[in-house]
Amino acid sequence: MLGAVAVGVASACSSSTFTPPDLFGSDILSISANLVLNYTATAPYQTTVHHPTIDVHDAEFCNVTVAYTHPGQDDYINVEIWLPIGNWNERLMAVGGGGYVAGRFSYSETMMVAALGLGYATVTTDAGLGTAFYPEEWALLSPGNVNLYALQNLASTSLNDEAVIAKSVIKQFYDKTQKYSYWSGCSQGGRQGLKLAQQFPDAYDGIAASAPALNWPKIFPSFFWPQVIMNELEKYPAPCEFAHLAKAAVSACDARDGVVDEVISNLDDCHFDPFDSAGDIFNCSDTGKTTTLSAAAAIVANATWEGARTSDGRFLWYGNGYGSDFQSSQGAGIAATDCTNGTCVGAPTPLGTQWIQMFVEKNKSFDYNSISRLDFERIFHASVAQYTSMMSTNDPDLSAFRDAGGKLMMFHGTNDQLIPYKGSDDYYESVASQMHDIDDFYRYFHVPGLGHCSGGSDASPTTAMKQLRAWVEEGKKPDTVPVKIKDSHGRKFDRPLCPYPKKTHFDGGDPTRLESFSCRK
Protein backbone atom coordinates (compact mmCIF):
# COMPACT_ATOMS: atom_id res chain seq x y z
CA MET A 1 0.00 0.00 0.00
CA LEU A 2 1.40 3.37 -0.99
CA GLY A 3 2.24 5.88 1.72
CA ALA A 4 1.30 9.56 1.51
CA VAL A 5 4.64 10.59 -0.05
CA ALA A 6 4.53 7.71 -2.50
CA VAL A 7 0.97 8.61 -3.47
CA GLY A 8 2.16 12.12 -4.23
CA VAL A 9 4.97 10.81 -6.41
CA ALA A 10 2.66 8.33 -8.12
CA SER A 11 0.30 11.13 -9.04
CA ALA A 12 3.14 12.62 -11.08
CA CYS A 13 3.12 9.54 -13.29
CA SER A 14 1.35 11.31 -16.11
CA SER A 15 2.48 12.34 -19.56
CA SER A 16 1.63 15.93 -18.65
CA THR A 17 4.34 15.90 -15.96
CA PHE A 18 7.15 15.70 -18.50
CA THR A 19 8.42 18.29 -20.92
CA PRO A 20 10.79 17.39 -23.76
CA PRO A 21 14.39 16.91 -22.61
CA ASP A 22 16.96 19.34 -23.97
CA LEU A 23 18.67 16.95 -26.39
CA PHE A 24 20.67 18.78 -29.03
CA GLY A 25 20.22 17.47 -32.56
CA SER A 26 16.97 15.68 -31.88
CA ASP A 27 13.21 16.18 -31.95
CA ILE A 28 11.14 14.65 -29.16
CA LEU A 29 8.16 12.94 -30.78
CA SER A 30 6.22 11.73 -27.75
CA ILE A 31 6.41 11.11 -24.00
CA SER A 32 4.14 8.54 -22.39
CA ALA A 33 3.87 7.60 -18.71
CA ASN A 34 2.11 4.59 -17.20
CA LEU A 35 1.75 3.67 -13.52
CA VAL A 36 2.69 0.03 -12.88
CA LEU A 37 1.38 -1.57 -9.67
CA ASN A 38 1.95 -4.97 -8.07
CA TYR A 39 4.88 -5.79 -10.34
CA THR A 40 6.52 -9.13 -9.47
CA ALA A 41 9.51 -10.66 -11.25
CA THR A 42 12.84 -12.41 -10.66
CA ALA A 43 16.20 -11.37 -12.09
CA PRO A 44 18.60 -14.38 -11.96
CA TYR A 45 22.27 -13.65 -11.44
CA GLN A 46 23.16 -15.46 -14.68
CA THR A 47 21.49 -12.61 -16.59
CA THR A 48 22.15 -9.62 -14.37
CA VAL A 49 25.86 -10.61 -14.14
CA HIS A 50 26.88 -7.91 -11.64
CA HIS A 51 24.16 -8.64 -9.06
CA PRO A 52 23.01 -11.67 -7.09
CA THR A 53 19.56 -13.02 -7.96
CA ILE A 54 16.99 -10.32 -7.16
CA ASP A 55 13.33 -11.06 -6.43
CA VAL A 56 10.88 -8.20 -6.86
CA HIS A 57 7.46 -8.44 -5.22
CA ASP A 58 4.52 -6.06 -5.66
CA ALA A 59 6.67 -3.17 -6.83
CA GLU A 60 5.26 0.16 -7.95
CA PHE A 61 6.93 2.28 -10.57
CA CYS A 62 6.26 4.82 -13.28
CA ASN A 63 7.15 3.56 -16.74
CA VAL A 64 8.10 6.48 -18.97
CA THR A 65 8.87 6.07 -22.66
CA VAL A 66 10.40 8.89 -24.66
CA ALA A 67 10.33 8.60 -28.46
CA TYR A 68 12.55 10.87 -30.53
CA THR A 69 14.32 11.26 -33.86
CA HIS A 70 17.43 12.90 -35.28
CA PRO A 71 16.02 15.09 -38.06
CA GLY A 72 17.25 14.03 -41.48
CA GLN A 73 18.23 10.54 -40.35
CA ASP A 74 14.81 8.90 -40.61
CA ASP A 75 15.22 7.14 -37.25
CA TYR A 76 12.74 6.50 -34.47
CA ILE A 77 14.30 5.78 -31.08
CA ASN A 78 12.62 4.73 -27.84
CA VAL A 79 14.11 5.26 -24.40
CA GLU A 80 12.32 3.52 -21.52
CA ILE A 81 12.76 4.63 -17.91
CA TRP A 82 11.42 2.89 -14.80
CA LEU A 83 10.99 5.24 -11.84
CA PRO A 84 10.46 3.41 -8.53
CA ILE A 85 7.79 4.75 -6.22
CA GLY A 86 8.31 4.64 -2.47
CA ASN A 87 11.84 3.24 -2.38
CA TRP A 88 13.98 5.24 -4.81
CA ASN A 89 17.61 5.19 -3.65
CA GLU A 90 18.30 8.48 -5.49
CA ARG A 91 20.47 6.74 -8.07
CA LEU A 92 20.22 5.84 -11.76
CA MET A 93 21.29 2.55 -13.33
CA ALA A 94 21.36 2.18 -17.11
CA VAL A 95 21.55 -1.33 -18.53
CA GLY A 96 23.10 -2.59 -21.76
CA GLY A 97 22.04 -4.78 -24.63
CA GLY A 98 23.31 -7.93 -26.32
CA GLY A 99 24.22 -9.10 -29.81
CA TYR A 100 23.14 -6.43 -32.29
CA VAL A 101 20.47 -5.16 -29.86
CA ALA A 102 21.15 -1.93 -27.98
CA GLY A 103 18.57 -2.72 -25.32
CA ARG A 104 14.85 -2.64 -24.56
CA PHE A 105 14.43 -6.40 -25.02
CA SER A 106 14.06 -9.37 -22.66
CA TYR A 107 17.70 -9.45 -21.54
CA SER A 108 17.70 -5.74 -20.74
CA GLU A 109 14.36 -5.99 -18.97
CA THR A 110 15.71 -8.63 -16.62
CA MET A 111 18.60 -6.35 -15.71
CA MET A 112 16.13 -3.54 -15.14
CA VAL A 113 14.21 -5.81 -12.77
CA ALA A 114 17.36 -6.20 -10.67
CA ALA A 115 17.97 -2.45 -10.66
CA LEU A 116 14.34 -1.77 -9.71
CA GLY A 117 14.50 -4.31 -6.90
CA LEU A 118 17.52 -2.48 -5.47
CA GLY A 119 15.78 0.89 -5.58
CA TYR A 120 17.39 2.37 -8.68
CA ALA A 121 15.68 4.34 -11.39
CA THR A 122 16.67 2.38 -14.48
CA VAL A 123 16.81 3.01 -18.22
CA THR A 124 17.29 1.24 -21.54
CA THR A 125 17.23 2.27 -25.21
CA ASP A 126 16.43 0.45 -28.44
CA ALA A 127 18.69 2.84 -30.43
CA GLY A 128 15.92 2.84 -33.04
CA LEU A 129 16.70 -0.75 -34.06
CA GLY A 130 13.82 -2.63 -32.50
CA THR A 131 14.30 -5.90 -30.62
CA ALA A 132 15.39 -8.31 -33.37
CA PHE A 133 18.59 -10.05 -32.22
CA TYR A 134 20.07 -9.95 -35.73
CA PRO A 135 20.17 -6.91 -38.04
CA GLU A 136 18.36 -8.06 -41.19
CA GLU A 137 15.58 -5.55 -40.56
CA TRP A 138 17.74 -2.47 -40.42
CA ALA A 139 21.28 -3.10 -41.68
CA LEU A 140 20.78 -2.28 -45.38
CA LEU A 141 18.97 0.62 -46.98
CA SER A 142 19.32 -1.24 -50.28
CA PRO A 143 21.76 -3.84 -51.67
CA GLY A 144 25.24 -2.38 -51.36
CA ASN A 145 24.21 0.44 -49.00
CA VAL A 146 24.55 0.12 -45.22
CA ASN A 147 22.28 2.13 -42.95
CA LEU A 148 25.17 3.98 -41.35
CA TYR A 149 22.92 6.23 -39.24
CA ALA A 150 21.38 3.14 -37.62
CA LEU A 151 24.80 1.61 -37.03
CA GLN A 152 26.04 4.90 -35.56
CA ASN A 153 23.06 4.97 -33.19
CA LEU A 154 24.02 1.48 -32.00
CA ALA A 155 27.71 2.33 -31.80
CA SER A 156 27.54 5.51 -29.76
CA THR A 157 24.92 8.21 -30.36
CA SER A 158 22.04 6.53 -28.53
CA LEU A 159 24.18 6.00 -25.44
CA ASN A 160 24.65 9.64 -24.56
CA ASP A 161 21.10 10.46 -25.66
CA GLU A 162 19.82 7.84 -23.23
CA ALA A 163 21.74 9.33 -20.30
CA VAL A 164 20.54 12.87 -21.03
CA ILE A 165 16.91 11.76 -21.37
CA ALA A 166 16.92 9.59 -18.24
CA LYS A 167 18.39 12.34 -16.08
CA SER A 168 15.88 14.87 -17.37
CA VAL A 169 12.95 12.53 -16.67
CA ILE A 170 14.25 11.79 -13.16
CA LYS A 171 14.55 15.50 -12.36
CA GLN A 172 11.01 16.19 -13.50
CA PHE A 173 9.45 13.21 -11.73
CA TYR A 174 11.20 13.41 -8.35
CA ASP A 175 11.89 17.17 -8.43
CA LYS A 176 15.56 16.48 -7.76
CA THR A 177 18.51 14.97 -9.58
CA GLN A 178 20.07 11.58 -8.92
CA LYS A 179 23.03 11.56 -6.55
CA TYR A 180 24.97 9.05 -8.66
CA SER A 181 24.53 7.25 -11.97
CA TYR A 182 25.78 3.79 -13.03
CA TRP A 183 26.02 1.59 -16.11
CA SER A 184 25.83 -2.21 -16.12
CA GLY A 185 26.20 -4.44 -19.16
CA CYS A 186 27.78 -7.55 -20.68
CA SER A 187 28.86 -8.32 -24.27
CA GLN A 188 27.22 -5.56 -26.32
CA GLY A 189 26.44 -3.97 -22.96
CA GLY A 190 30.11 -4.23 -22.00
CA ARG A 191 31.13 -2.55 -25.24
CA GLN A 192 28.57 0.18 -24.62
CA GLY A 193 30.02 0.76 -21.16
CA LEU A 194 33.54 1.18 -22.54
CA LYS A 195 32.26 3.50 -25.29
CA LEU A 196 30.64 5.68 -22.64
CA ALA A 197 33.88 5.89 -20.67
CA GLN A 198 35.81 6.79 -23.82
CA GLN A 199 33.43 9.17 -25.57
CA PHE A 200 30.92 10.39 -22.98
CA PRO A 201 32.95 10.50 -19.75
CA ASP A 202 30.39 12.56 -17.82
CA ALA A 203 27.43 10.28 -18.50
CA TYR A 204 27.95 7.86 -15.60
CA ASP A 205 29.91 7.86 -12.35
CA GLY A 206 30.52 4.12 -12.36
CA ILE A 207 30.61 1.52 -15.13
CA ALA A 208 30.52 -2.27 -14.77
CA ALA A 209 31.40 -3.87 -18.12
CA SER A 210 31.73 -7.61 -18.70
CA ALA A 211 32.90 -9.53 -21.81
CA PRO A 212 32.97 -6.30 -23.83
CA ALA A 213 32.77 -6.60 -27.62
CA LEU A 214 35.76 -4.31 -28.07
CA ASN A 215 37.48 -4.15 -31.46
CA TRP A 216 34.18 -5.10 -33.09
CA PRO A 217 35.49 -4.93 -36.71
CA LYS A 218 38.04 -7.64 -35.83
CA ILE A 219 35.95 -9.75 -33.49
CA PHE A 220 32.88 -10.15 -35.70
CA PRO A 221 34.57 -11.55 -38.82
CA SER A 222 36.70 -13.70 -36.50
CA PHE A 223 33.55 -15.49 -35.35
CA PHE A 224 33.66 -17.24 -38.73
CA TRP A 225 37.32 -18.29 -38.54
CA PRO A 226 36.80 -21.89 -37.33
CA GLN A 227 34.21 -22.39 -40.06
CA VAL A 228 36.79 -21.32 -42.65
CA ILE A 229 39.12 -24.04 -41.38
CA MET A 230 36.39 -26.67 -41.53
CA ASN A 231 35.36 -25.59 -45.02
CA GLU A 232 39.00 -25.81 -46.06
CA LEU A 233 39.29 -29.32 -44.62
CA GLU A 234 35.83 -30.28 -45.89
CA LYS A 235 35.40 -31.98 -42.53
CA TYR A 236 33.03 -31.00 -39.74
CA PRO A 237 33.76 -32.77 -36.44
CA ALA A 238 30.88 -33.80 -34.19
CA PRO A 239 30.22 -31.56 -31.16
CA CYS A 240 31.36 -34.33 -28.77
CA GLU A 241 34.85 -34.23 -30.30
CA PHE A 242 35.30 -30.59 -29.32
CA ALA A 243 33.81 -31.29 -25.90
CA HIS A 244 36.33 -34.10 -25.44
CA LEU A 245 39.22 -31.81 -26.35
CA ALA A 246 38.02 -29.04 -24.03
CA LYS A 247 37.78 -31.54 -21.18
CA ALA A 248 41.24 -32.90 -22.01
CA ALA A 249 42.73 -29.40 -21.99
CA VAL A 250 41.21 -28.61 -18.61
CA SER A 251 42.36 -31.95 -17.18
CA ALA A 252 45.89 -31.30 -18.40
CA CYS A 253 46.16 -27.88 -16.75
CA ASP A 254 43.60 -27.85 -13.92
CA ALA A 255 45.93 -28.93 -11.11
CA ARG A 256 48.76 -26.55 -11.96
CA ASP A 257 47.42 -23.98 -9.52
CA GLY A 258 47.31 -26.57 -6.72
CA VAL A 259 43.52 -26.96 -6.77
CA VAL A 260 41.48 -29.44 -8.80
CA ASP A 261 38.23 -27.61 -9.51
CA GLU A 262 37.71 -28.23 -13.25
CA VAL A 263 38.93 -24.71 -14.02
CA ILE A 264 42.21 -23.44 -15.47
CA SER A 265 43.01 -20.51 -13.21
CA ASN A 266 46.05 -19.32 -15.15
CA LEU A 267 45.76 -19.93 -18.87
CA ASP A 268 49.22 -18.43 -19.51
CA ASP A 269 50.72 -21.48 -17.80
CA CYS A 270 48.64 -23.96 -19.83
CA HIS A 271 50.16 -25.42 -22.98
CA PHE A 272 47.96 -28.15 -24.35
CA ASP A 273 48.59 -29.87 -27.68
CA PRO A 274 45.29 -31.15 -29.15
CA PHE A 275 47.17 -33.31 -31.66
CA ASP A 276 48.32 -35.54 -28.81
CA SER A 277 44.64 -36.45 -28.34
CA ALA A 278 43.98 -37.38 -31.97
CA GLY A 279 43.00 -41.05 -32.01
CA ASP A 280 41.53 -40.99 -28.51
CA ILE A 281 38.63 -43.40 -28.18
CA PHE A 282 35.73 -42.13 -26.07
CA ASN A 283 31.97 -42.34 -25.74
CA CYS A 284 30.25 -39.64 -27.80
CA SER A 285 27.37 -38.08 -25.89
CA ASP A 286 25.79 -36.95 -29.18
CA THR A 287 25.37 -40.48 -30.53
CA GLY A 288 25.83 -42.71 -27.48
CA LYS A 289 28.44 -44.61 -29.46
CA THR A 290 32.18 -45.10 -29.15
CA THR A 291 34.03 -42.47 -31.22
CA THR A 292 37.62 -41.87 -32.26
CA LEU A 293 38.82 -38.27 -32.04
CA SER A 294 39.66 -37.12 -35.57
CA ALA A 295 42.72 -35.21 -36.69
CA ALA A 296 40.30 -32.65 -38.14
CA ALA A 297 38.89 -31.94 -34.66
CA ALA A 298 42.41 -31.27 -33.39
CA ILE A 299 43.14 -28.94 -36.32
CA VAL A 300 39.94 -26.94 -35.84
CA ALA A 301 40.33 -26.72 -32.07
CA ASN A 302 43.94 -25.61 -32.41
CA ALA A 303 42.95 -22.91 -34.93
CA THR A 304 40.15 -21.72 -32.64
CA TRP A 305 42.48 -21.48 -29.65
CA GLU A 306 45.22 -19.76 -31.68
CA GLY A 307 42.83 -17.27 -33.28
CA ALA A 308 42.46 -15.93 -36.80
CA ARG A 309 45.59 -15.87 -38.96
CA THR A 310 46.46 -14.92 -42.52
CA SER A 311 47.31 -17.62 -45.05
CA ASP A 312 51.02 -17.10 -44.27
CA GLY A 313 50.44 -17.30 -40.50
CA ARG A 314 50.36 -13.63 -39.48
CA PHE A 315 48.21 -12.63 -36.49
CA LEU A 316 44.75 -11.19 -37.14
CA TRP A 317 42.90 -11.66 -33.85
CA TYR A 318 42.98 -13.60 -30.59
CA GLY A 319 41.57 -17.07 -30.05
CA ASN A 320 39.33 -18.43 -27.32
CA GLY A 321 40.60 -19.96 -24.09
CA TYR A 322 41.10 -23.66 -23.42
CA GLY A 323 37.91 -25.12 -21.99
CA SER A 324 35.60 -22.76 -23.89
CA ASP A 325 32.49 -24.35 -25.38
CA PHE A 326 32.81 -24.23 -29.16
CA GLN A 327 29.34 -25.75 -29.49
CA SER A 328 27.49 -23.35 -27.20
CA SER A 329 23.75 -22.98 -27.65
CA GLN A 330 21.90 -19.79 -28.64
CA GLY A 331 24.07 -19.19 -31.70
CA ALA A 332 27.24 -18.44 -29.73
CA GLY A 333 29.44 -21.43 -30.60
CA ILE A 334 31.94 -20.26 -33.20
CA ALA A 335 33.04 -23.80 -34.15
CA ALA A 336 29.54 -25.25 -34.00
CA THR A 337 28.48 -28.11 -36.23
CA ASP A 338 25.08 -29.68 -36.77
CA CYS A 339 24.86 -33.48 -37.04
CA THR A 340 21.10 -33.91 -36.67
CA ASN A 341 20.67 -35.45 -40.14
CA GLY A 342 23.42 -38.00 -39.69
CA THR A 343 26.06 -35.97 -41.54
CA CYS A 344 27.80 -33.12 -39.78
CA VAL A 345 27.81 -29.68 -41.40
CA GLY A 346 29.06 -26.30 -40.26
CA ALA A 347 26.68 -24.23 -38.13
CA PRO A 348 28.30 -20.78 -37.88
CA THR A 349 26.98 -18.22 -35.44
CA PRO A 350 24.79 -15.61 -37.16
CA LEU A 351 26.63 -12.94 -35.19
CA GLY A 352 29.53 -13.46 -37.58
CA THR A 353 27.71 -14.36 -40.78
CA GLN A 354 25.34 -11.41 -40.46
CA TRP A 355 28.27 -9.03 -40.09
CA ILE A 356 29.94 -10.46 -43.18
CA GLN A 357 26.77 -10.43 -45.28
CA MET A 358 25.17 -7.17 -44.20
CA PHE A 359 28.05 -4.88 -43.37
CA VAL A 360 31.10 -6.11 -45.25
CA GLU A 361 29.62 -7.63 -48.43
CA LYS A 362 26.44 -5.53 -48.07
CA ASN A 363 24.46 -8.34 -49.65
CA LYS A 364 21.86 -10.43 -47.80
CA SER A 365 22.32 -13.24 -50.31
CA PHE A 366 26.10 -13.49 -50.02
CA ASP A 367 27.08 -17.17 -49.70
CA TYR A 368 29.41 -17.29 -46.71
CA ASN A 369 29.81 -21.04 -47.07
CA SER A 370 32.05 -20.44 -50.07
CA ILE A 371 34.54 -18.26 -48.16
CA SER A 372 38.14 -19.40 -48.67
CA ARG A 373 41.03 -18.41 -46.46
CA LEU A 374 42.03 -15.68 -48.90
CA ASP A 375 38.42 -14.47 -48.97
CA PHE A 376 38.46 -14.39 -45.18
CA GLU A 377 41.58 -12.21 -45.15
CA ARG A 378 39.95 -9.79 -47.58
CA ILE A 379 36.74 -9.68 -45.52
CA PHE A 380 38.66 -9.19 -42.27
CA HIS A 381 40.70 -6.28 -43.64
CA ALA A 382 37.64 -4.72 -45.29
CA SER A 383 35.79 -4.84 -41.96
CA VAL A 384 38.67 -3.14 -40.17
CA ALA A 385 39.14 -0.52 -42.88
CA GLN A 386 35.47 0.46 -43.05
CA TYR A 387 34.31 0.30 -39.44
CA THR A 388 37.23 0.93 -37.08
CA SER A 389 36.42 4.57 -36.40
CA MET A 390 32.75 3.83 -35.69
CA MET A 391 32.75 0.46 -33.93
CA SER A 392 36.15 -0.33 -32.40
CA THR A 393 35.65 1.17 -28.92
CA ASN A 394 39.37 0.82 -28.18
CA ASP A 395 40.51 4.38 -27.42
CA PRO A 396 43.05 4.00 -24.58
CA ASP A 397 42.81 7.63 -23.44
CA LEU A 398 40.45 7.53 -20.46
CA SER A 399 41.80 10.72 -18.91
CA ALA A 400 38.50 12.61 -19.25
CA PHE A 401 36.63 9.75 -17.54
CA ARG A 402 39.25 9.67 -14.79
CA ASP A 403 39.18 13.44 -14.35
CA ALA A 404 35.38 13.35 -14.07
CA GLY A 405 35.79 10.99 -11.11
CA GLY A 406 34.56 7.94 -13.03
CA LYS A 407 35.30 4.38 -11.91
CA LEU A 408 35.37 1.36 -14.22
CA MET A 409 35.25 -2.33 -13.33
CA MET A 410 35.67 -4.76 -16.23
CA PHE A 411 35.34 -8.57 -16.19
CA HIS A 412 35.97 -11.29 -18.75
CA GLY A 413 35.40 -15.02 -18.43
CA THR A 414 38.39 -17.09 -19.54
CA ASN A 415 36.03 -19.70 -21.03
CA ASP A 416 34.18 -17.12 -23.10
CA GLN A 417 33.17 -19.10 -26.18
CA LEU A 418 32.38 -16.00 -28.21
CA ILE A 419 34.58 -12.98 -27.40
CA PRO A 420 38.22 -13.84 -26.61
CA TYR A 421 39.27 -12.59 -23.20
CA LYS A 422 42.71 -11.67 -24.54
CA GLY A 423 41.10 -8.80 -26.44
CA SER A 424 40.14 -7.31 -23.08
CA ASP A 425 43.70 -7.94 -21.84
CA ASP A 426 44.96 -6.05 -24.87
CA TYR A 427 42.72 -3.06 -24.19
CA TYR A 428 43.60 -2.85 -20.51
CA GLU A 429 47.31 -3.00 -21.33
CA SER A 430 46.94 -0.23 -23.92
CA VAL A 431 45.33 2.02 -21.29
CA ALA A 432 47.94 1.08 -18.69
CA SER A 433 50.76 1.97 -21.09
CA GLN A 434 49.42 5.53 -21.28
CA MET A 435 47.98 6.09 -17.82
CA HIS A 436 50.19 5.16 -14.88
CA ASP A 437 47.45 5.87 -12.35
CA ILE A 438 45.15 3.29 -13.93
CA ASP A 439 44.52 1.43 -10.65
CA ASP A 440 42.91 4.55 -9.22
CA PHE A 441 39.95 4.38 -11.60
CA TYR A 442 40.03 1.18 -13.72
CA ARG A 443 40.22 -2.41 -12.53
CA TYR A 444 39.96 -5.49 -14.72
CA PHE A 445 39.36 -9.07 -13.57
CA HIS A 446 39.69 -12.45 -15.27
CA VAL A 447 36.89 -14.81 -14.25
CA PRO A 448 38.30 -18.37 -14.43
CA GLY A 449 36.09 -20.81 -16.30
CA LEU A 450 33.19 -18.40 -16.88
CA GLY A 451 31.56 -18.56 -20.31
CA HIS A 452 30.14 -15.65 -22.28
CA CYS A 453 28.41 -13.59 -19.57
CA SER A 454 27.29 -16.83 -17.86
CA GLY A 455 27.76 -20.60 -17.95
CA GLY A 456 30.93 -22.60 -17.59
CA SER A 457 32.12 -22.35 -13.98
CA ASP A 458 29.06 -20.15 -13.30
CA ALA A 459 31.32 -17.74 -11.41
CA SER A 460 29.41 -14.52 -12.09
CA PRO A 461 30.82 -11.50 -10.21
CA THR A 462 27.58 -10.92 -8.30
CA THR A 463 29.07 -8.37 -5.89
CA ALA A 464 30.44 -6.18 -8.67
CA MET A 465 27.80 -3.46 -8.62
CA LYS A 466 27.83 -3.26 -4.83
CA GLN A 467 31.61 -2.91 -4.87
CA LEU A 468 31.54 -0.40 -7.72
CA ARG A 469 29.11 1.74 -5.77
CA ALA A 470 31.37 1.60 -2.70
CA TRP A 471 34.31 2.65 -4.87
CA VAL A 472 32.45 5.58 -6.42
CA GLU A 473 30.72 6.81 -3.28
CA GLU A 474 33.12 5.85 -0.49
CA GLY A 475 36.48 5.53 -2.22
CA LYS A 476 36.81 1.82 -1.37
CA LYS A 477 38.91 0.21 -4.09
CA PRO A 478 37.85 -3.33 -5.07
CA ASP A 479 41.09 -5.16 -4.28
CA THR A 480 39.37 -8.51 -4.89
CA VAL A 481 35.96 -9.67 -6.08
CA PRO A 482 34.59 -12.87 -4.49
CA VAL A 483 33.01 -15.51 -6.75
CA LYS A 484 31.82 -19.08 -6.40
CA ILE A 485 33.16 -21.63 -8.87
CA LYS A 486 30.97 -24.67 -9.45
CA ASP A 487 32.27 -27.95 -10.85
CA SER A 488 30.32 -30.67 -12.64
CA HIS A 489 29.67 -32.45 -9.35
CA GLY A 490 28.00 -29.40 -7.85
CA ARG A 491 30.89 -28.60 -5.52
CA LYS A 492 31.40 -24.91 -4.82
CA PHE A 493 34.76 -23.18 -4.40
CA ASP A 494 34.93 -19.64 -3.01
CA ARG A 495 37.58 -17.77 -4.91
CA PRO A 496 38.83 -14.17 -5.00
CA LEU A 497 39.23 -12.55 -8.40
CA CYS A 498 42.40 -10.49 -8.50
CA PRO A 499 42.83 -7.26 -10.45
CA TYR A 500 44.76 -7.88 -13.66
CA PRO A 501 47.69 -8.42 -14.11
CA LYS A 502 47.78 -9.99 -10.65
CA LYS A 503 46.82 -13.66 -10.43
CA THR A 504 45.06 -15.71 -7.78
CA HIS A 505 47.55 -17.87 -5.85
CA PHE A 506 46.64 -20.86 -3.71
CA ASP A 507 48.46 -20.55 -0.39
CA GLY A 508 47.42 -23.94 0.96
CA GLY A 509 44.65 -25.01 3.30
CA ASP A 510 41.02 -25.57 2.36
CA PRO A 511 40.70 -24.87 -1.41
CA THR A 512 37.00 -24.03 -1.03
CA ARG A 513 37.66 -21.00 1.20
CA LEU A 514 38.58 -17.45 0.21
CA GLU A 515 41.28 -17.10 2.85
CA SER A 516 43.30 -19.88 1.22
CA PHE A 517 44.16 -17.57 -1.69
CA SER A 518 46.08 -14.36 -2.26
CA CYS A 519 46.80 -12.05 -5.19
CA ARG A 520 50.30 -12.02 -6.64
CA LYS A 521 52.00 -10.68 -9.75
Catalytic positions are: 187, 416, 452
| Distance in angstroms (rounded) separating the CA atoms of residues 478 and 287 | 47
Give 481's strand partners: 497
Give 404's strand partners: none
Is residue 397 within 8 Å of residue 364, measured between CB atoms? no
Helix (H) / strand (E) containing 41: strand 27-43
Is residue 103 within 8 Å of residue 126, measured between CB atoms? yes
Is residue 80 within 8 Å of residue 63, measured between CB atoms? yes
The CA–CA distances, whole Å, from 259 to 10, 83, 255, 263, 504 equal 54, 46, 5, 9, 11
87: burial class by Cβ within 10 Å (0-12, 13-18, 19+)?
A: middle
φ/ψ of residue 131, rounded to 5: -115, 5
Which residues does 281 contact at the CB level (< 8 Å), separation at least 6? 290, 291, 292, 293
Which residues does 370 contact at the CB level (< 8 Å), separation at least 6? none
Is residue 208 within 8 Å of residue 184, measured between CB atoms? yes
- The Cβ-side half-sphere exposure at 343, using a 13 Å CA radius, reads 3
Is residue 307 within 8 Å of residue 420, measured between CB atoms? yes
| Distance in angstroms (rounded) separating the CA atoms of residues 116 and 110 | 10
Report the amino acid identity of residue 149. Y
| Distance in angstroms (rounded) separating the CA atoms of residues 476 and 210 | 20
E-strand stretches of 276-431: 281-284, 289-292, 337-338, 345-346, 407-413
Mutual angle of helices 295-306 and 239-253, in 10-degree steps:
60
Helix, strand, coil distribution of the chain in percent, nearest 5: 35, 25, 40
Which residues does 106 contact at the CB level (< 8 Å), separation at least 6? none
Q: Where are the alpha helices (H) located in 262-372, listed in sequence order?
A: 295-306, 350-354
In terms of DSSP bridges, do strands 140-142 and 145-146 run parallel, antiparallel, or are they unpaired? antiparallel
Q: How many CB atoms sit inside 10 A of residue 255's CB?
A: 11
340: burial class by Cβ within 10 Å (0-12, 13-18, 19+)?
A: exposed
